[in-house]
Amino acid sequence: MSTSDLDAQKRVLNRLRRANGQLQAVIGAVEAGAPCRDVVTQLAAVRSALDKAGFAIISTAMKDCLADPDETSPDGNTPEQLEKLFLMLA
C-alpha cells in the first residue's frame, strides 16, 4: 500500500471514528430524553461524517481507476461500478 493510500485510509478511519462518537452521542441523547432538535442535529452530524468517509473511499478508488482506466480498481471495481457506488451516496 502506498503512502497516499495509507494517508487516505487514516483519514477515512478518523472520519468513521468521529461518526461512531457522534452516534454514541445520539444514543445517549435519546436515552436521556433530549430535545428533538438536539437529536436531529447529532444525527445530521453522523450522516455527514459517514458520507464524507464514503466519498473519500470512492475518490481513492476513482483516482486509481483514472491512473489506469482499462484496469479494474485494486478492489475489483470497474469504472461503472464506482459510478454506481458514488451515486448511492449522492
pLDDT tens by residue, 63-86: 776 666 666 556 677 778 888 888
Q: Tell me what percent of the residues of the chain surpass a pLDDT of 90.
A: 42
The residues, any chain, with a CB within 8 Å of residue 15's CB and separated by 6 or more, are: 49, 50, 52, 53, 56
Number of folded domains that form the chain: 1
Domain range spanning residue 37? 3-89
Position 59 scores a pLDDT of 83
Q: Is the pTM of this model over 0.95?
A: no
